[in-house]
Amino acid sequence: MNIDDLHATAIRILAPGKGILAADESTGTIQKRFEKIGVANTEQNRRDYRELLFRTEAAMRSHIGGVILYDETLRQQAKDGTPLVKLIEAAGSVPGIKVDGGAKPLAGAPNETITEGLDGLRERFVEYRQLGARFAKWRGVYQIGHGGPGPGRPSHGALHANAHALARYAALAQENDIVPIVEPELLMDGNHGIEAAAGVTEWILNEVFRELYYAGVRLEGMILKPNMVVSGLQCAKQNSVEEVARRTLAVLKRCVPAAVPGIAFLSGGQSDVDATAHLSAINSLGASPWTLSFSYGRALQSAPQAAWAGKADNVAKAQASFAHRALMNGLAAVGKWTPALERQGGH
């Protein structure tokens, strides 16, 4: 492990005004997205769609510091034969790879999950680094609720199991000189309020950093990808942008060591604009020990996907849509986004 190189890569990915494009949807997940826009889920269409994003060079160079890829995409070539990894590198971004095997039912914990994929991960990391990946992502999923017998969710067993898996993954990544993105996500599903979201997020983060310490993970060479502190989607009370920002930053300051170079929020179930507004508000609260940026999937891609709709004639329109979303989030990453800029639509 070269901790200086890992730290430098993390800093590069989250340079001022830059964040991460999460383009790591599995084949099954992207099928759901493509169905909404009437596009067949073929390897070529997946390639063409992602290529148009990576070829939006001004937006990539200015606002996208890293791109999380799915295994298929890491190996694909563009229409002209250029490896997609090379397109990302040419735009000044860092290629990354999703390595987890997805959330599966956790034995003995009704309605809770454990993320799988540790078996053979050391060998996969060796190959992924050879293919150009310089950072990786692993997601642990948690949910508030009462889905069966017992005191409800999340249980301590599920918290501990996922934190332990995240830590083992992160240690393996660093062993192979790959920056781990550690993603503990409290889902927005449910009718819980912001108080419950804050309390459970704090519990999750404390458990994760405890396990990272025990696993020997060097915090200087990782990126945290947490949820923001928001009420459940079914909660009658949805809090103001300012309240979400204040609660989120307060929890992070209680739980995240200053040695972590950067925090890249996930968007979860938020709308495009809400995810951007919340990020900008968090960055407007004053100095913090870490870079605070974004690692968004849907919040960067839903608009360009709709604009593209699988048609070659729509590529320029889709790229303009992606460029606007990248610009808005780049501004939010330095606390300079405004609703007026959002309304300009990038045109």
> For the segment 268-312, what is each residue's pLDDT rounded down to a tens digit?
888 999 999 999 999 999 889 999 999 999 999 999 999 999 899
Return the residue matching tokens 């083992």.
168
3-state secondary structure of 318: helix
Cβ 325 vs Cβ 64: under 8 Å: no
Quote the pLDDT of residue 146. Answer: 60
Pairs from 11-14 (Cβ < 8 Å, separation ≥ 24): 11/261, 11/262, 11/291, 12/65, 12/94, 13/65, 13/66, 13/94, 13/96, 13/135, 13/179, 13/223, 13/262, 13/264, 14/65, 14/66, 14/223, 14/261, 14/262, 14/264, 14/291, 14/293
347 has a pLDDT exceeding 50: no
Quote the pLDDT of residue 344. Answer: 82
Strand partners, 136: 97, 180
Residues 71, 46: Cα–Cα separation, whole Å: 12
Q: Is the peptide bond before 154 cis (omega within 30 degrees of 0)?
A: yes
Q: Tally Cβ neighbours within 10 Å of residue 81.
A: 6
Which of 25, 183, 185, 342 does the annotation list as catalytic?
183
DSSP type of residue 10? H
Cα 266 from chain centre: 5
Domains and CATH numbers, the chain: 3-343 (3.20.20.70)
Give the pLDDT band of residue 151 (cuts 50, 70, 90): low
Mean pLDDT of the chain: 94
Percent of residues, the chain, with pLDDT higher than 90: 85
Cβ 331 vs Cβ 52: under 8 Å: no
Quote the pLDDT of residue 87. Answer: 96
H or E element in which residue 21 lies = strand 19-23
Closest CA relative to residue 263, chosen from 220, 300, 223, 219 = 223
For residue 249, the one-letter residue type is: L
Quote the pLDDT of residue 345. Answer: 66
Percent of residues, the chain, with pLDDT higher than 70: 97
> Is 183 among the catalytic positions?
yes
Identify the burial level of 32 via C-beta atoms within 10 angstroms of its C-beta, where 0-12 means exposed, 13-18 middle and 19 or more buried.
Answer: exposed
Packed helices 121-130 and 156-175: angle between N→C axes, nearest 10 degrees: 40
Quote the pLDDT of residue 346. Answer: 46
User: Region 181-187: what's the mean pLDDT?
Assistant: 97
> Is 104 among the catalytic positions?
no
79 has a pLDDT exceeding 60: yes
Quote the pLDDT of residue 171. Answer: 98
Residues 142-165, buried b or exposed e (16+ Cβ, 10 A)?
Answer: bbbbeeeeeeebbbeebbebbbbb
What the block records as the tokens of 248 is 């989120």
Cβ 74 vs Cβ 24: under 8 Å: no
pTM tops 0.85, yes or no: yes
Print the SS3 string covering 104-158.
EECCCCCCCEEECCCCCHHHHHHHHHHCCCCEEEEEEEECCECCCCCCCECCHHH
Residues 266, 313: Cα–Cα separation, whole Å: 31
Residues 304, 309: Cα–Cα separation, whole Å: 9
Which of 18, 98, 137, 225 does the annotation list as catalytic?
225
